[in-house]
Structure 1
Amino acid sequence: MLRTLLHKTLLTALLILLGGLAAVAQQYVVKGTTLNFKVDENPSYKYHWSVTNTSTGSVAYLASTTFESGDYQFNAPGTYEVKVYPEDLGTHCFGEALTMLVVVDDATPTAVFEDLEVPYVCAQNNGGDANGKVSVTVNYTGPKPWTFKYSIDRAPAILPDGADQIFTDSFTFDLEIPNTTGKTHRAEILLVEAKTISGIPVEEDLANQTLEVDVMALPNTTFGDYEPVIQSGTIQAYTATIEKNENYEIFVPAGATVLNESTTRLSDNFHSELSFDVQWAVAPGDYQVKLIERSAFDCAGDTVYANVTVVESFSVSLGDDLSFCSGETRVLTPVIDFDGNYTYLWSDGSTNPTLEVSETGIYSVTVTDTNTGKQSSAVVNVTVWSAPDVDLGPDYQLADAEILTLDAGNPGADYLWSTSETTQTIQVSTSNTYSVTVTNANGCSASDEIVITSVNDVFAIELGDDQDICVGDEIVLNPNPSIDQNYTYLWSNGAATSTLTVSETGIYSVTVRDDAGNEQSDNISITVHELPIVDLGEDITLFDDETATLDAGDGGLNGSYEWNTGESTQQITVSEENVYSVLVTSEFGCTNTDEILVTKREGKFAIDLGEDIDDVCLGETIYLTPKITTNQADFTPTYSWTGPTESTEEGIYVDKSSKYCVTVTDQHGNAEQDCIEVTFNPTPEVDLGDDIQLASGQVVELDAGNVGSTYLWFVNADIAIKPSAIDQVIQVSQAGEYRVEVTNEFGCIGRDTINVSSNTSQYNVYLPTAFSPSSRNIDNKELKLFGDTDQIKDMSLIVMNRLGHKVFQTKHNIPWDGTYKGQKVDMDVYVYFLKVTFKDGSQMQTQGNITLLR
């Protein structure tokens, strides 16, 4: 880690003012400092300067006779008196001397941090937990008083309380360091701007003016969904996500009681779900359920709150008053603001959850909560408007030349007749079905219709001439009665519709009958013809002066052909490169089409490398080989590849973006060339960094980088991490092997793996990276723990081979001699998993590789 401190140069100037009485001031400097002293200038005086070392008694008289002493360098430690005597130039009388004390230290002042007793601290939290404070001491040597500031992670410098003037050799203060990252954060505390009050800078000592302290993450405690508004006296369920150590405390208001408290470990094995109920035997009002969690390192998290409003009882509503037209109904449904089990009593005595109404009235419901016995009622007014009474009378037959008046009644209403007229009455003189819709002032409508016929009605029908259609076509048969009146229809296939849609060969007939019993019949023959069969075959490649005959097939008697070349014969001969198409029409007008691609090639063969390739990823390899088309029975090619890869093989493997060309030469010397552009898309570069050892309660971020990609994380035995398996950054607080797959916008995948171990203790034990049962070195013949092994209380060591099979396990520091079930295992690299609990309760967890040598 690179650390940089600013070097500061202190320029010291001292001013002594004359003004009546002699003044004594004091200045702290270090050996080698040069000072220049001044007094207020008075042209009537000259000045005599001297510097006396009070420790040795030596006196230095300065040459200056002006108000300024000139530079003087203090080369030895001790206490000095700098004096100036003013001499009146008129009387040559000396005035009283002004004296300045200068204390010279032997060396530059120093200030260093004292090592922390505990290298970690809980993060600052909203509850002011004492474990969230770290005590920091600065030891100082040099002139006093002195001062300093500190900076956390290069933030603006802060002056500790009481550190503006320090007269002691050490200064201790407490720090609270926030950490909202959700993981353990290693904070850097820098000693900055340390100096004497007189301005002498403290000697820079980066190593001892820097402290690092691990700031534990706050437990990530969150409430799950809950009901924010509840009834007094009810029991409500709450859930919260907590860490797996399950160290928490629940606070509820006076009168409320926590019931059925339990925890369940979640599938990620890092968290638990806390479930509990609260019985709210409190007066209505606003309340809070508070939850405080402590981590495994006794760090208190932020207090989280569930804000709850308690009301006296539930409420029920039937909505706004209703109005609708007679003949209609409405369903009254109570709306209750709380889920629960309820019974219902309506004003008509019914007990169903809903009530269907169709009459004017005042309707009410009383709802009872079966759990609490509390009741709530609601009322709604229902008004049913009368609909118009519309009666056009019975169906009617007009006499010859008769005119009939139809009356919809209901004066003052709105009318809409099927004739588009809008008056109360209309006059009719022709056969038809007449209808009217009447709408009154309340918006209620009613309708009626009447069928009017005439004694003179005579109708005719016509299905038309016989029809020829093609496979896939349909035709609609319509008898088209000549008079607009009511009819019934009966088709030969039993259908009773006014029209008939057909798509098969056959003779179809229909009988049409009017209400007077008159009937008319007609029939029609429908013939369905097959489409012409058109197949021009596979695409063709022509070489040199070759030609090809294209055959459109038999179009049948009187069939016709229409080529895109303008020709109209069944066959055509082609020699040019083109897409040829033909439309064949049969004598019945049925059509079909086909097309063929004819490619012209010089020489006796053609080659094709295919379309350009742009869907492969860096790190992959693809195989390129030309597709050859030839009419030579004894074709013997040779190959010459150019580009980043040069080869004479038929195909080449390529792994980089470029243009690749191949020249194929046959045994007659004919050559053909084709090229292809291959683009390898970038594969994500993923680097999770070096393996990590977690400190107590530490949470680290693993960042897969490659913003905008998609991510999939795994831990240990390829178990996908949830719920954050698709995040770029995940937070890790448990030991394990973490692997990530990163897929970029091109579908290319990059991977990396990191081992995370943990050590929450001041102690440390470790395994060697290799051992040899055949070694002569007694300490390297067996695999065992080294380090603070005398502090171990419990331990678990598991060694597994490459296949994931366990070959050794112990719960004590028993060495492994490199055997499994009495047989020597192979020389190989093995994986170990180690968990240690020390006597002071702290823990260490790690994993890694061990090489077994023979």
Structure 2
Amino acid sequence: MRNRVAIGKVEFTMFALTWWLGSAFLFFSQVGFSQNITEAEYFIDTDPGFGSATPVSVSAGTTIDINFNAATSALPSGGHVLYMRTKDENGVWGFTEARPFYINQPGQVSTPPPADIDKMEYFLDTDPGHGAATNYPVSSGASFDVNAVFSTSSLPEGFHIVGVRTRNTDGNWGFVEYRPVYVRSSSSVGPPTVYDVTEMEYYFDTDPGPGSATPWPAFAQGQSIDLNELISESGALSSGLHTLVIRAKNENGEWGFYEKRPVVIKGPPISSPTIPNIAKIEYFFDGDDPGIGNATDLPISPAPSIDLDPAIIPTSPTLIDGQHTITVRAMNADNEWGMAETTTFDVLDDCTQPIADFTPQLACASQVVTFVDNSTDLQPDAQYRWYLNGDDVVDDTTVGDATFTYNFPGTYVVALAIRQGTICLDSIATTIEIQPLPVAVFSASGTVVNQPTTFTASAINLPVTPIWEWDFDGDAIIDDTTEGNTSFTYTSTGSYDASLTISDGVGCSVSVVHRIDITGSGGSATPTTDFLPENGCVGSSIDFIDISQNIPGSATYSWDFDGDGNEDSTVPGSQSYTFASSGTFNAQLIIDLGGSTIQASHTVEIVEIPVASFSAPSVCETTAMSFTDMSSGVDPSAVYMWDFDNDGIIDSNAKTGVNYSYPSSGSYIVSLIISNGHGCTDEIVKQVTVVNLPSPDFEWSGACTNETVAFNNISTDALAGAVYSWDLDGDGLEDFSNNGDVSFAYPSNGSYNGALTISNLAGCEATITKTIDVYDRPDVIIDIIAKCYGQESQMMDLSQLVGAGATYSWDFDNDGNVDDATVGSTAYTYSTYNSYVVSLTIDNGGGCSASAEELVVFSDAATPDFAVNKTCQGEEVVFTDLSSDLNTGALYSWDFDGDDLEDSAFPGSTAFTYNQSGVYNATLTIDNGDQCLAFKTIALDVTPPPAVDLGPDVELCAEGEVVLDAGTGYAAYLWPDGSNNQTYTVDVVGNYVVRVQDAKGCFNKDTVAVKLLGAPVPSFSYSIELSLEGIGIAFTNTTSNADTYSWSFGDGTTSLDMNPSHIYSDFSFYTNSVYEVCLTAANSCEEAEYCESILVSPTNFSHEDFEAMNVYPNPVEQLLYIELNEQLNNKMWFGLVDATGKLYWNPTTNEKAFQINVGKLAQGTYYLIWKRNNEILYRKILKQ
């Protein structure tokens, strides 16, 4: 869970906020010291030294806008750095400002595409130059991650710098990336030794070398040092910008990196500078600077220096896990901003947010109070801080329950803070009331069995609603809850532990126990003496409670309350005494029983009554009020209870350093209660005042150089008699002290920090600073270069004193609308010939604007015009010139195909052939002289020739004719004989051409050959195959000059296929079969027939097999036995037929052996037929 991050030790007293140098003030604001800038210079890549770079002309002022051209023709392609600096009227050069830029090769566009990185090199400490460092192999690419191991064997131990750079495929080197590294020897074991810093030195501007600078004042040596010192520069530095550099050396004799800060010496020297309080601190994350004064406020109490170590800064919920930066800057009471300080921190997700909670188990003063820990979502690394008595000091770090003894009653603030992981923490606070410890005593009289025993009780320091609980017989059962005196009857003799407990019901309680001896009737108990003293205050009546028992009436008392040996009272029973001084006294009671004495003594502690007092001067709104304790008679262990806002809640228990910030101005009631213990308290109540802080404010409308600017005072909350101070140009000098409106003129443009400060009679002061942007009023100059209407006229802006953010408004056509263009020099095309007044208005901002006008004068232009006849692909297109308003010597330029290239300069009608179809923009441009150009463009749709197709070559029958068809949709036809019909009849072989023309006039043609078609010649071949269905014959057609076919297979079946196959199912397996097959072939002219007899002999496919079929007896009269060499299956056929093929028997099951009764068959020859595996087997059977 990420919601808060603690910024470690950020000491803003170092460098950023309170640097003082003897008698000169190192001013930390970047805008508070204004000198006119008188010179500027720039250089590229290499610094030639102050005053030796290329000068840039500037107008003197505290701020300047620079817009100049720097020569780059001599620079190679790649990255470079442009540097610029300025010098003020005191001859002091400022810091150098740097900007990287990129030089393109000639002819490149302004933003070249990125080239791949193809080389990387690195060096340690010293740069040997581009290409001369150590090469690190990389794979070419637009970007890559580098996880390199560099050799450091030649480097001594200590800090070094590694520099890495890359080169792209264009040969350009990039900028060097630097990283500091620390080198340790290979013999080092464990983490590196961190040595103490033992020596520090500093210098200004110029480094005299390590060990030769000015030693830093004495400091406590250690591994980290916070610096907050006044250092002297002996008045040797001139006013203006300088650089302060500090470095440190450790006990190992190694110098570290230097730390440097820019400072401004602001003179004349002063002997005792006053450090203004830091009034505001703001911060932002990851360099996302919203601008000075616009970042997130960090609540602070104004002080000369602020330690941010305890600050808890909420992080942004958008920060992801990982390293981030936080930047902090401060503003002092003079509204001057210091330099920003940036540090890194990690957002980690290494912990769960704890929830702090506890329940107090209250007790009385001087008793142990237990705080029961109820916290949840804890981790094993949770750290506890218990703040138990309101003094902001950690009292306990126990994880879990905590205990604490409050010596004095009062109201205390108790808090628990829990931290776990790196960033997870929570806290809770509550207020508890510790009651005084009640004091209770009782005595018993009448201690005889079965008779009432009277209990006489006395108590002090009782709670508001006390709870009394009596246990007379010691059985831990409450017998009575009477407040004060009561009685109880014992029913048997014996010794009883009688107890009285008094409590407030919320934890504060006290118990008193006495042994009660109950005797039989007529018995007597032994006299005992004791008393209970009360600790108290000087001058207050102190009670001594007599708790003696069984004292006879004849006994005499002797009291010595202050332990001085002198009898103070002889009155029996409880007594009171007033002590005149504080201290510890030994009080004594002696009772004379008449022959013997008994006595008791106790220590009594008497303390002074404190006198509460404090002072709290009035403060201004937003300023914390400081309360100074002026009390007297206060014991070192006394408890302070402050209520700053009269709400009855204790706000603080602090004794010193008491501050409180009120939310708004007004009067507040403050009370202070001081308790020395034993009820010795005093209270003082005062009224304090928080004075309204003035709310200065002013407004103005526009500011132009050398013109009076009116500033309206719109301040509020300024009390009568308030003092006003205006500084409108930010030079630190008062310009006006009026409490009303003022006027001021600025001699030059720029941004000025205008300030209004109001101080009221209560000493409350407030300042508002606003940026006043002063602009030059522009000198508007325009020049119109007009050629002829219908062409671009150049609108030239030659204005001066134009600001960088100026806005332009052109009115080209005199229509009153000034939004025709909003840039500087531009162009405009007039579509009609007329007189026009062009106006330009330039607004530099701040109401500083000006305008200029100029009349537009045109030249005469020709009126280009032309027409075309038709636009067909591949045919010549005629362009007929129809132009008018031509001057003598007018120049023509024809662009027929719209490629912006001149195709012809012929002055008049011409022609052009388009080889491809499409839409072309044909343009005629005529220069009528003085480059007064005019043009005419016509979009031409160049269409392809019409598509015509007579089809494939055709064949002609002898004595016949054929009709050629060119198709529909044409405007005209042309055949060889001059006819123009769609069709053409041919009765002679040869090549024929038709020409067609479409509606646009475009032509095309096609040619077809007419050939003589011969008579068909039918023929075929065949192959015979065996199947279970019969004999199959596949026919292959070898006919020529035919396109249709008709087959007759001789068994009554036919086919129109070109290459049919046919099965003869009536084939006989024991006699030859002859089939008459005829093929009739035809074409469009005639037909012919071819017939062939096909002989199919059984011997071609069958044979008698005696091994596959074992048959017996044969010849046979009745039963015929058949044995096959394999079992029948569904792909086989087996049966008994006669010579005519008639079937007499075939099996119904697939078996291997069969028995047939052939007794009823007529005598003769029969055949067993077995069709299997493309063969036919048979056995001849003779029936007798």
Do these two structures clear the TM 0.5 threshold for a shared fold by scoring above it? no
| Greater strand share, structure number | 1
Q: TM-score, normalised by structure 2?
A: 0.14
Structure scoring higher RCO (CA < 8 A, sep ≥ 6) equals 1
Larger of the two Rg values belongs to structure: 2
Query: Normalising by structure 1, what TM-score?
Result: 0.19
